[in-house]
Amino acid sequence: MKFKIFVAALVTSAVALPSSYSLGTPGSHAHLFSEDVTNMSFPEGFMWGYASAAYQVEGGWDADGKGESIWDYDAHNHPDWWPENQNGDIACDSYNQAAVDVELLRRQGVNTYRFSIAWPRILPDGTLNNISQKGIDYYKDLISQLKENNIEPLVTMHHWDNPRAIEDKGGFMNETIIDYFYDYAELLFKTYGDDVKWWITFNEPKQTCGGGYDYGGISPNIRNLGRGGYICAHNLLRAHAKVYRMYEQKYKATQQGRIAIVVDESWVEPASNSTADIEAAERANLMTVGWFAHPVVYGDYPEIMKQRIDSRSAQQGLSESRLPKFTEEEKIELKGTYDYLCVNMYSSVLGAAQDEAPITDISIGGDISVNQYQPDDWEKTVTSWFKVVPWGARHLVRWLRDTYGDEKGIMVTENGYHDSGNEMDDLNSRGRYHKLYLSNLNDAIYKDGVNLIGYMAWALLNDVEWYAGWQVNLGHYHVDFDSANRTRTPKQSADYYKKVVTTNCLVDSCESSTKKIKLA
């Protein structure tokens, strides 16, 4: 799950537009909201699952020699950042209760489980100088239990939790992290590659880099506006490319796995059908999703992104652009480093043109310069930025198809609903949210022809929502964080999602389909 960290403002340069945008009268989007739910079955072979992150569920923060992560560091050095010490020290205790979680997954009938490996649990100081066998064994056992229950492991290598020892060397601001991550990734391939066929290198790098090293809103909380995020992203993308090519050259022939990177987006819909608003929304999408998707698909940042940051940097009197440049060799290495497209989605915003951000505004938001907002009459949740916008899901995956192609398949790797986590009768809130978002995704499959291959709900369990602790949650199972054994109890949404994944149908009865997912 992610934080909402970017607010932007403006439009000038024209951009090439895909056919994804669906507009009504200027400023009105009421026609896009609908309670209608499709009765078409999802395609045969559709990957249904849940997603989680190590820090949010595992606990055992120093168990069996695990090293300190940047989030562990925050919890212990800045306890005032967390509500009532609601941190990941114990979390859901999944480190000790993996078998319980696998049994819940089996009960739910899912065929996939996306989880992350904690880098410092495997390599306590982040390097091969100190390999934790107990850490390796924990994930071996989890993967084995999943496979025994016919649940495919979908493994994320990095879900925000840098080893603190690596962060002390500069983290993603230091290009030495490329080699450290390369070594870590190869250890994972050697250790788990025979059983893991679906890999993700990085989860939500926009948040890792924008929140961690630019805006400073998430760990490691480095504030370097308009510079840090771009440096972080550049090193992260280079690390992703090297790991992809290493797997391609050394392991793919025998292990036959797939590798991807996860992008996240609050879909930006044009605020009106004016050319200026359409261009503004497109630029916002390209400079957020495209920041990472463009390099792995095409080998470089979007042209509009390069043009704007280069131009603004020059006007700011800088001798070189704040956006680093890939060498020709790096562009070649990056291009095509994905075997499927992954996107995390929760909400949507409207994008409107406005005056150019002042040239003194050195920030990612200033570089994008688009006014992004949500109308007051959109359906609210407990979190200010999170409103229920089901049609945005359809528009987003359609845009991904139009912009990057879908021949390798598109997977929704996170989607879920915010509340306090204590609402057990959540069929008409969380259950409805999944139903409406999935109905729009189903429309994208059958009406728009998008090759959508899977959907991972966030989340199986109430968990530690980073600095929000468990005051905000998305789980289908309530977790009693006051009990020693972290008792799990199903909510109504768990039963509804079980019905969906076991029948491929969102309603009581569906029209069958011969459509199958396509994997390149």
Annotated catalytic residues are 204, 414
Which amino acid is present at 345? M
Q: What is the helix, strand, coil percentage profile of the chain, to 5?
A: 40, 15, 45
CA distance 409 to 341: 6
Cross-strand bridge partners of residue 343: 263, 412
- In 36-95, DSSP assigns E strands to 47-51
Geometric angle at alpha carbon 262, from 256 and 266, rounded to 5°: 150
Structural element, H or E, at residue 456: strand 452-457
Structural element, H or E, at residue 213: helix 212-213
Signed CA dihedral, 277, 224, 235, 210: sign only? negative
What are 307's two structure tokens? Answer: 């043009």
What are 19's two structure tokens? Answer: 């056919």
CA distances 131 to 98, 120, 127, 191, 246, Å, are 21, 9, 8, 12, 21
Residue 496: phi, psi to the nearest 5?
-65, -45
271 three-state secondary structure = coil
